Structure 1
Amino acid sequence: MTQQARRLRARLAALGAVGATALAAAGVQGAAHAAEAPLPVVITGEDRVDLSLHSDNGDPTEPQVDLRLDVPGEEFEGDGEVPTVHRGDYTIRIDASGLKGVAEADLPCDADGLVAVCTGYELYAGTTFNRVGGIRLDLSDDSEAGDTGKIVVTGEGEGLEFTPLTVDVRVGGPELLNRELSAPEGVMPGDDFELPLGVMNVGGLPAQGTVLRLLGSRGLSFPDTYGNCSSSDINTGDLLRQRTEVLCTFPDTLGAGTAYALSRQVRVRTADFALNDIFSYSFDPLEPGEEKTLHQGRRQGGGPDLTLERVADADPAQYTKYAELDLPRTNTYDLELTGASASGAAGEKVDVEIGFRNNGPAWIGALRSGGEPFSFTVTPPTGATFTKAPEKCMPAGVNGSDPAYLCFAPTPMLEDARFTFPFELRVDRVVEGAKGRVALPDWNNPYESDESNDVAWIVLNAPGEPGDDGTGGSGGGPSDDPSAPASGDGDGSGDDADDAGTGSASGGGPGDDADGGLALTGAQGVGLLGGAAVLALGLGAAVVLYQRRRAGRDGEAAA
């Protein structure tokens, strides 16, 4: 939404809410509303488009301007028929004649050259269901650097008061590209490293100042400060979005076709838990008056200013739109499963609790994949059947014939994260020392430091003392004793009986979803293996089924 639209909508919010409520209560539409105050409608869309002389300006099939109508009232959410706020003919006129000789315009609806007319009858609250169409802009044979033009969008209809939209179009303005990055060698967790950063204006016009943005995900920080820079930290909420951001402003003009480098290399610090954290930077033109507001509400840096120095004979091929690195790549984590033991007579139900934890030292950000879960299988002991399973687990077999369960541990995962997965078993027949296997998939995960604790056991009716007969985990450690409590017991970091998704005691809260777990999208182990087959267990299909089941529960909870 444009700033113009936001300001107008704020001024008319009270009037719009009253009008929409009155319509809904009385069932009055169309002409009846026209007898009252006109219904305000704001035409929204991108209000500025810069066309580059050096690129295809994005996907040629995708419009740069998405025209919609913003109508007061709460947007409809849910299933069923969308209620209307207004019924009655209206017309939207798109006049792009101001682009003649500047750019080509592909207009929606009934277009005649550079003018198009769109018609409609029903309007709904909000913008989602009030789409007019898209405008695609491209260079013409006459386009030259510095050309400017406008598109004016207006509307009319009985009982409606439209706020028009003006789209400013500029050709060949300042276009800043960033110097490409190369990964420094030998960066270890806890190290500092320095990066040479630079910018080149490949546009047709000078940039009257620029702003540099440095971004580091949760495991990265910037220890140096400068007088023309400010910083902010986001260290709560969704782990995927926790980061440090630094903004530096440079008022000097960046000439067209010239390149510049920072007067000092930027120092980046890695945390001990960092693994494939993302550093990125970008230069953008300063908008008029923007420098005064960019640093507000942020920590102002100290010391001398960071400056830009002109670079002679720069190669445009060494500059790119996106500049980022994943560092460090040398850290590891240790995923550990712990089993359980129980005893019961035939027909009796018993509780067991599986543990899953990350022993670190690295966290598992899953930043590139968006956070998919790790999966592991839980098989019941011989002679027993699962009768209850945690919400983060589902039957492994699609047709329900497989007695095993597939469970999911969410990412991002903190470096000390602990989860518990409580199950209920029914003893169908007593089998002395029956064992059920709990296991991560067999995979070549370069970041897993200890595969010996990737398997644990559920032991049912073990002979003698628990732990006899080699019933512990495959590689020793905590899983050697099947009677030992599952990971997280007794330390205040375990989960509720139906919630296996809570993070570590030190930081599991950020990013929790409605079920108490972090968002179940993207396993770092999957994304980091460069597109390897997903966990060799058909995880893709399982995640779809899991998410559908979870979406159903979330919908019921919302109802």
Structure 2
Amino acid sequence: MRSRTRRTRRPLGASAARLREKAWGALAVAALLLGGTTANAGAATAGAEEPLPVSVGFSPERMDVRAGEFHELFPYLEVPGPEPEPDPETGAVPPVHDGPYTLTFDATGLDGVASVDLPCGDGPVTTCSYDRMYWPDFPVAVLSLLIDPDAAAGVTGVLTVTGQGEGLAFTSRPLTVRVLAPEPQEPAYQERVLSAPPGFRAGDVFPAPLGFRNEGADGRGAILRVTGTRGLSFARAHDNCWYAEDTDGPPAGQGVEAVCVLPGVFEAGAPYELTEPFAVIARAFALHDTLAYTVVEGGAARAEEMTAGGEYRQGTGAPLTVRRAATAPAAGYADDVALVLPDSGVLALAATGDSARGGIGRTVTVEAGLRNAGPAWYSGAGGGEELALVFHAPEGSTVTGVPDSCAPVGDGVFRCVPGALAENSRRTFPFRLRIDRMVHDATGAVTLTGDLSHDAHPADDIAAVVLNAVGRP
């Protein structure tokens, strides 16, 4: 193992340790630049007739940047010759130069182009001092470069690192920073933020005032995509919209979708709104359903890409149209707007227990469960603590088999998460129990926890699991 001696040097400043740790991440860059072909660097240069050539610079030597960007820079040293071999007895690696030297960082050439944090002091010019130089296998510092947000395209700046020391001949390879023109701006639509109408309930129709604003360059055409979970549906079917409804699989994945093509040129910075609200129906079992919508640039071709592979049907009603809004909404705009509604409704949850019997040493199965008698479904999107079932194993038994969606929370206690639960449905979790000893009418429990604020019958949220051991104790 090599001695730590070869790493001994005077610190670069108060943040030297942090800089050196970060610098190791750039070893691959520095290693490509540390080759050489002349001189034997294996011994100290004290007393050498010729000064040791040292190149100090950056990789790359030129950076093309844009206003407002952030970059990390890694200044490095390069000396000729291979890395010195360690002493065979001590393992210490000798320095390539034994004596003091300095490195001066000069950022005055970046004025008006970028700001940079320099080591070993404040200001545009700082100097770091070192005791000796080892074969350089890592950058000497990590510099944070922030391009001025107001920097004009075409301007250039220069950052240099120069060195000085007896017995050393430094050459500098400065970094040139050139500011490029800003990237071409593209259309960027943001959606109008929605709020639920007061008193909205299952069976009501929500006239959603959908709209958007173009935060980028002028856009040609727009694609409106509206989705709703299974408790929502759309009141109208416009002929410039394509509709899909998924009623298969788990309740959480069911719902409706509309993809609408809105022609026109949408100017930068301008707000737009639908000529008439997008009507959304809350079905009879709706509760905490999610209505979401997005608007992106595009026309019929992009809409076809978005609907490819799905079972969509085109509407036959009057087209959905858009107009420039007179004013921006008070709630403003955001990306990918979503709204949970309705917030009022009732579901009837109940825990379900089980019973089993068997001889000591035998294994039996009991089913812990819950049911929802409706009328609302449980979507899990209400914002409260998620609905869960807690199973307590009966005394005298050991749980040997646990359902996939359950996890232990104590000795013989498990928490199961059912997820979304449709109205008039039931979910069970089979547990395997080994009967270890005789306990007459050993009783465990199934308890519902989480947000039960819409549960019509809280008294049904606990049920018993009874285990009867048979045979001799």
TM-score of the superposition, structure 1-length normalised?
0.48
Residue 408 of structure 1 aligns with which residue? 416
Is 1:176 the counterpart of 2:183? The answer is no
Q: Which amino acid aligns with 1:339?
A: G
Query: Using the alignment, how far apart are the partners of 2:183 and 2:285 within structure 1?
Result: 46
The alignment covers a number of residue pairs equal to 320
Of residues 191, 197, 218, the one that matches 2:210 is 197
Equivalent residue, structure 1, for 2:296: 284
CA contact (8 A) 1:378 1:407 kept: no
User: What residue is the counterpart of 1:363 in the other structure?
Assistant: 377
**Which residue in 2 is equivalent to 1:321?**
335
What displacement does 1:428 show?
1.5
Cα distance in 2 for residues equivalent to 1:455 and 1:354: 14
Structure 2: tracts of 5 or more residues without a match: 1-31, 34-58, 76-106, 114-144, 155-179
Structure 2 counterpart SS, 1:452 = helix
Normalised by the length of structure 2, the TM-score is 0.56
Map of 1:379 onto structure 2: 393
Match of 2:222 in 1: 210
The residue type equivalent to 1:281 in the other structure is Y
Separation in 2 of the partners of 1:447 and 1:378? Answer: 25
What is the deviation of 1:311? 2.2
Distance 1:326 1:458 in 2: 36
Q: Answer yes or no: is the 8 Å Cα contact 2:186–2:218 preserved in 1.
A: yes
Structure whose residues are more often helix by fraction: 1
What letter is aligned with 1:177?
A: Q
Cα distance in 2 for partners of 1:94, 1:304 equals 62
Q: Would you say the 8 A contact 1:226–1:305 is kept in 2?
A: yes
The answer as to 2:247 corresponding to 1:247 is no
Task: Confirm whether residue 106 of structure 1 aligns to residue 70 of structure 2.
Answer: yes
Question: How big is the shift at 1:461?
Answer: 4.8
Matches within 5 A, 1:526-537: none
Q: Per the alignment, do residues 355 and 462 of structure 1 end up closer, same or farther by CA in structure 2, a change over 3 Å counting?
A: same
Distance in 2, matches of 1:282 and 1:343, equals 56
Cα separation, partners in 2 of 1:227 and 1:407, compared to 1, 3 Å: same
| Correspondence for 2:275 | 263
CA contact (8 A) 2:399 2:431 kept: no
Note the 1:131-530 alignment, pairs <5 A.
140-142=149-151, 170=183, 173-203=186-216, 205-236=217-248, 239-286=251-298, 290=302, 293-294=305-306, 298-314=312-328, 318-343=332-357, 347=360, 349=362, 351-361=364-374, 362-367=376-381, 374-381=388-395, 384-386=396-398, 388-392=400-404, 393=406, 395-397=408-410, 402=411, 404-415=412-423, 416-426=425-435, 428-431=437-440, 433-441=441-449, 445-461=452-468
* Aligned residue in 1 for 2:23: none
Q: CA RMSD in A?
A: 4.2
| Larger strand share, 1 or 2 | 2
Distance (Å, rounded) in 1 between the aligned partners of 2:321 and 2:346: 38
Larger Rg, first or second structure (1 or 2): 2
Q: What percentage of aligned pairs have identical amino acids?
A: 28
Q: CA deviation at 1:420?
A: 3.7
Q: How many angstroms apart in 2 are the aligned matches of 1:366 and 1:216?
A: 14
Distance of aligned partners of 1:423 and 1:107 in 2 relative to their CA distance in 1, 3 Å threshold: same
Contact 1:371 1:411 survives alignment (8 Å): no
- 1:216-242 Cα deviation digits (max 9, x unpaired): 122222231112211233444565444
Cα separation, partners in 2 of 1:411 and 1:288, compared to 1, 3 Å:
closer
Structure 1's unaligned 5+ residue stretches are: 1-88, 115-135, 149-166, 464-559
Secondary structure of the 1:388 match is strand
Shift of 1:307: 1.0
Task: Report the CA distance between 1:96 and its aligned residue.
Answer: 6.7
Structure 1 counterpart of 2:325, one-letter code: V
User: 1:278 Cα shift?
Assistant: 0.7
- Secondary structure in structure 1 of the residue aligned to 2:459: helix
